[in-house]
């Protein structure tokens, strides 16, 4: 990961204040990946599960890094600044850099829909603001602080996505980003391997609201079981499909399209599914609070291009595929399958599902619940890949649906190449590491 520094000269001055022994040099970017280093970059090596960036310090030096942080003693390299913890340096520098800019910062978190909501909000606000946003899914305790270094004086608003998979990470993210407004999309049982219970997930997400200052704004999803109970000093702006709220939504699906209504304003959604409607309702609430007109919000939502791998409908040759492969958990899989089962009526619906991961003790239960849910849908066949989808396959009524389970990716590919026909629509879903997106090319482009 490498970013171009928002203000290289000011960043060099900040480094000089923190590390007086370093002789300031012209800087260009901030990099944690030695393969991407350019001359003049700051290189900060981090220790991971499978690598240690310190092993590539000589490579960084040879590529012209202007300053290198290291937990190891390396006196023979003049650009090296020795520190106790490179990760702590990352957090400290990012927080200090954020404090250089007094601009509104919107923090977005939640179990599902963070990235899509961020991108939709960015589209709605961009014509009115010069915005810095976290790119792609750079929402972690590494990705977010590195993204912060792109801030410069030309930005008048920032949108930071905040993702956590371990307790305590939200506190780190909010202390760096210092959000002035916060949106929590929803709370669901995800990352249970480390959080153990959905209540712990809720507790982690709630930190975003509790971090907001007086005078800030919290955008509260009243339809969620947990979010309305979160404490905050900020103003509470509510949205809901079920209850009376500042922004009241209703959702209608027709043979041609899905339609969202917000406080009697109609939006023709650019993609099928209640998930996009939920994201759009929250974006409407947030954008309206920033003074964007209702007409502008509607026009910008209706022209939004949904992200790849998040329910995108693809046509490859004679085949229609719904690519929902970005990630998976029980809630998102149910929502995706429900939407998928209603499109293109009159043809067969075939689901190709990979394991849902990071569920800890809930792994078997969630996979079985998914299989039971599939029984209620208009789906003709289900192909399961992985260790845990065996539980899903066991719950599906084989008398009413074709059900196949594979532990071998290669065997699944060979079978599907012979199985697929033109008179069907196909849905792919699974956790990121299952690489279900690769199956699209491996099966349908063969």
Which pLDDT belongs to residue 22? 83
Which pLDDT belongs to residue 163? 94
10 Å CB burial of residue 49 (0-12, 13-18, 19+) is exposed
Which pLDDT belongs to residue 254? 85
Question: Of 23, 24, 31, 38, whose CA–CA distance to 3 is shortest?
Answer: 31
Question: Of 194, 159, 198, whose CA–CA distance to 179 is shortest?
Answer: 159
CATH number of 101-302: 3.40.1190.10
Is pLDDT at 137 greater than 80 in this prediction? no
pTM given for the model: 0.90
Give the whole-angstrom CA distance, residue 193 versus residue 357: 9
Which pLDDT belongs to residue 95? 97
Is pLDDT at 216 greater than 80 in this prediction? yes
Beta strands in 21-137 (DSSP E): 29-31, 42-43, 67-70, 80-82, 105-109, 131-133
Is pLDDT at 201 greater than 90 in this prediction? yes
Pairing of strands 247-253, 319-323: unpaired
Give the whole-angstrom CA distance, residue 89 versus residue 83: 8
Domains of the chain by residue range: 2-86, 101-302, 312-444
Torsion of CA 65, 173, 275, 282, to 10 degrees: -120
CATH number of 312-444: 3.90.190.20
Is pLDDT at 78 greater than 80 in this prediction? no
Rg over alpha carbons for the chain, rounded to the nearest Å, is 24
Which pLDDT belongs to residue 286? 98
How much of the chain, in percent, has pLDDT values that exceed 70? 100
**CATH level 2 (architecture), domain 2-86:** 3-Layer(aba) Sandwich (3.40)
- List 425's β-bridge partners, or say none: 320, 349
Average pLDDT, the chain: 94
Torsion of CA 239, 240, 245, 250, to 10 degrees: 110
Which pLDDT belongs to residue 23? 82
Give the lowest-confidence range in 20-34, 266-280, 347-361: 20-34
Which pLDDT belongs to residue 150? 96
What is the three-class DSSP state of 430?
coil
Give the whole-angstrom CA distance, residue 400 versus residue 412: 21
- Residue 7, Cα to own-chain centre: how many angstroms? 27
Which pLDDT belongs to residue 21? 82
Which pLDDT belongs to residue 173? 97
Beta strands in 105-246 (DSSP E): 105-109, 131-133, 157-161, 181-184, 217-221, 235-240
- List 3's β-bridge partners, or say none: 30
Is pLDDT at 446 greater than 80 in this prediction? no
Backbone φ and ψ for 375, nearest 5 degrees, come out as -60, -25
What is the three-class DSSP state of 49?
coil
Is pLDDT at 306 greater than 90 in this prediction? no
Work out the average pLDDT over 381-385.
Answer: 98
């Amino acid at each position: 990961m490498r970013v171009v520094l928002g203000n290289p000269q000011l960043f060099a001055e900040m480094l000089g204040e923190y590390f007086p022994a370093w002789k300031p040099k012209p800087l260009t970017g901030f990099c944690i990946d030695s393969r991407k280093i350019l001359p003049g970059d700051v290189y900060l090596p981090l220790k991971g599960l499978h690598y240690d960036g310190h092993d590539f310090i000589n490579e960084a030096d040879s590529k012209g890094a202007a300053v290198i942080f290291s937990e190891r003693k390396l006196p023979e390299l003049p650009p090296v600044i020795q520190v106790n913890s490179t990760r702590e340096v990352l957090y400290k520098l990012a927080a200090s850099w954020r404090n250089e800019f007094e601009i509104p910062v919107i923090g977005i978190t939640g179990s599902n829909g963070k990235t899509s909501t961020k991108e939709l909000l960015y589209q709605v606000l961009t014509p009115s603001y010069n915005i810095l946003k976290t790119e792609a899914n750079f929402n972690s305790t590494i990705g977010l602080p590195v993204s912060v270094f792109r801030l410069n004086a030309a930005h008048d608003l920032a949108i930071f996505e905040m993702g956590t998979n371990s307790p305590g990470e939200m506190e780190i993210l909010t202390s760096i980003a210092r959000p002035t407004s916060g949106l929590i999309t929803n709370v669901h049982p995800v990352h249970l391997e480390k959080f153990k219970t959905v209540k712990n997930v809720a507790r982690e997400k709630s930190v975003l609201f509790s971090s907001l200052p007086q005078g800030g704004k919290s955008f509260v999803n009243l339809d969620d079981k947990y979010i309305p109970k979160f404490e905050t000093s900020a103003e509470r702006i509510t949205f809901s499909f079920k209850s009376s709220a500042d922004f009241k939504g209703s959702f209608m699906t027709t043979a041609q399209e899905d339609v969202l209504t917000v406080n009697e304003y109609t939006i023709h959604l650019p993609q099928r599914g209640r998930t996009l409607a939920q994201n759009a309702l929250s974006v409407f609430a947030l954008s309206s609070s920033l003074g964007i007109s209702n007409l502008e919000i509607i026009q910008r939502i209706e022209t939004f291009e949904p992200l790849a791998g998040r329910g995108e409908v693809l046509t490859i040759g004679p085949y229609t595929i719904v690519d929902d492969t970005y990630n998976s958990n029980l809630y998102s899989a149910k929502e995706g399958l429900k939407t998928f089962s209603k499109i293109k009526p009159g043809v067969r619906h075939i689901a190709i599902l990979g394991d849902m991961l990071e569920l800890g003790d809930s792994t078997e239960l969630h996979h079985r619940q998914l299989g039971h849910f599939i029984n209620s849908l208009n789906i003709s066949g289900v192909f399961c890949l992985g260790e845990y989808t065996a539980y899903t396959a066991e719950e599906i009524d084989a008398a009413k649906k074709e059900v196949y389970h594979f532990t071998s990716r290669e065997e699944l590919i060979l079978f599907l190449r012979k199985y697929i026909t033109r008179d069907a629509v196909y849905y792919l879903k699974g956790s990121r590491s299952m690489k279900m997106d690769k199956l699209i090319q491996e099966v349908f482009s063969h």
